[in-house]
Amino acid sequence: MAVLSEHVDEGPHDIGALLNNLRIPSNFAQHETLEDKDTIVQLDAWKANAFSALEDLRRLLGNKLDESQKSDLIYTCAVFQGDGDWTSEDMRALSSGKRSMYATHCEMTEVPSTEILELEGEPSLFLLEEVLAKHIKPIFQTNPHPMLNAETGRKLPRTAGGYAAAQDAYEGQVWKEHPGVGNVLLWCVQRIDVRACILASAHAELHRCRPKRTNACGTLSCPR
Amino acid sequence: MTLLDDFEARYKLLGIQVVNAVLEHAPLPLLNRTGISELILAV
């Protein structure tokens, strides 16, 4: 488990290291039923220091990020949106960018809406695809839904592996070892621009259907 | 769909939120073509 206590005294100055430290420990998935006191203390310590780590991250984000870093940033910070034992009102506000009161950390000081997830503005469809393909899909692909083709995302004509497979899907659910992955998925879907999605879909269909070696307009050489 | 069909209520609830967002933000022809709309209606 990444413990952030050392980060308070001598915080990492590298965005990648901070993002790694902010990954939610998998034990949070069983937080409600945990009985081991040491683990509970470790998780509480992680959460107590994660807010400072988000603040450090916010301070470091003045530099321009490439697409890969942006997708890592979204995956790391969107887990703090929504519900979960690993997040709090303050962490939600700092990671989202919504104008809010930091009740416990900033003595009720209003902060401007320029926080982490909103620093780059609305994410493009390309960036959302990058987050889903790079971070979300590999997690769910280990336990694909028995009625879906994991490669194409299309519905299967019948349950893969037969009737019992529906029960097998409840075993070895690796995605539950990634607390907050559902929050990231929801955050991404809520930001899909349906018009951009229709255009991208039509473009992909056009490329799929047209004969090879011709352009979208159907000619071999398209005047520009 | 994995979230929506899970046996734990907290994941099922999150799945409902995701499906709501999908219905609002994904093109309907895409949902029909991939059969996802059929799966959602079967839940």
Task: Quote the ipTM score.
Answer: 0.93
8 A C-beta contact, residue A2 and residue A21? yes
Amino acid at A2: A
Residue A221, pLDDT score: 55
Using a CB–CB cutoff of 8 Å, tell me whether A147 touches chain B: yes
- The helix (run of H) or strand (run of E) holding residue A102 is strand A100-102
Answer whether residue B11 shows pLDDT above 70. yes
- Give the 3-state secondary structure of residue A148: strand
Contact B3 A182 (CB under 8 A): yes
Q: Nearest CB to A201: which of B3, B15, B27?
A: B27
- Give tens-digit pLDDT for A137-193: 999 988 888 888 888 888 888 877 776 777 777 778 889 999 999 999 999 999 998
Q: Nearest CB to A182: which of B14, B34, B38?
A: B14
Q: Residue A133 has what DSSP assignment?
A: I
Residues of B in contact with A144 (CB under 8 A): 2
Using a CB–CB cutoff of 8 Å, tell me whether A204 touches chain B: no
